[in-house]
């Protein structure tokens, strides 16, 4: 069964076209997605854009994986700062275009096979032909899948590098505050001296308080003596 692809897949425009034309083609195809259901054969603009409507579900999933991988790479600061000179974005977009074209062709051949199988009970020779054609599709899909996996491996490495870059920048920002922490540590010696001094004052206050209590007690006793009634 040839199943329809989900709406999460973006149209893919030929990277050799001018940016403005690519954007216009993508807008046109996206508008078609709202009121059409695939998979269907793409008959227009085949050399310029691949529509998600032209892909069956598994092919659409592969294309979506490739698109996510490329987005991870080209939107990273690591790519913009370090890798852009190694692999141009145009080359990465070309990979996605080649993958999309291959998946569209695979879908069309699957549609042909579906029609052949739906034609009724096939004889042994027809069945052998259809099986060999199905195997050819599997080989082509496996090769395209390997290409997608390679893009995902690149994206994973870039994501790890990007996380390390963010960690380094966060550590650098934190280290910029080190002087304040060093000042805090430097004040610790003064704090220890102040603590000793305060503790000594507290002990003196306690001794003074005790002496005061004793003095008050003696005064009270003296007052009581003065208050005794005179003997008659």
Structure tokens at 20: 């403005």
pLDDT of residue 7: 54
pTM for the predicted model, two decimal places: 0.72
**Mean pLDDT (10-residue bins), the chain, 232 residues:** 62 94 93 84 93 94 94 88 81 92 94 75 75 88 92 89 83 78 72 66 63 58 47 45
CB atoms within 10 A of CB 74: 17
Task: Enumerate residues 6+ apart whose C-beta is below 8 A from 29.
Answer: 11, 49, 51, 52, 53
pLDDT of residue 48: 95
């Amino acid at each position: 069964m040839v199943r329809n692809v989900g709406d999460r897949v973006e149209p893919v425009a030929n990277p050799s076209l001018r940016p403005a034309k690519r954007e216009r083609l993508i807008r046109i195809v996206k508008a078609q997605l709202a009121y059409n259901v695939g998979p269907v054969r793409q008959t227009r603009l085949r050399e310029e854009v691949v529509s998600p409507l032209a892909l069956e579900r598994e092919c659409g999933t592969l294309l979506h994986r490739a698109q996510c991988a490329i987005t991870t790479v080209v939107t990273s600061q690591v790519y913009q700062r370090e890798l852009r000179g190694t692999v141009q974005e145009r080359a990465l977009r070309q990979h996605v275009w080649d993958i999309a074209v291959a998946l569209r062709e695979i879908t069309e051949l699957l549609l042909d096979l579906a029609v052949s199988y739906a034609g009724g009970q096939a004889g042994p020779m027809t069945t052998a032909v259809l099986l060999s054609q199905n195997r050819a599709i599997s080989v082509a899909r496996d090769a395209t899948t390997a290409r997608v996996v390679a893009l995902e491996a690149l994206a994973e490495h870039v994501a790890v590098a990007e996380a390390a870059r963010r960690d380094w920048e966060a550590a650098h920002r934190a280290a910029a505050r080190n002087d304040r922490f060093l000042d805090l540590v430097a004040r610790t010696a003064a704090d220890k001296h102040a603590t000793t001094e305060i503790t000594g004052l507290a002990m003196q206050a306690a001794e003074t308080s005790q002496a005061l209590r004793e003095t008050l007690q003696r005064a009270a006793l003296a007052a009581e003596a003065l208050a005794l009634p005179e003997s008659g």
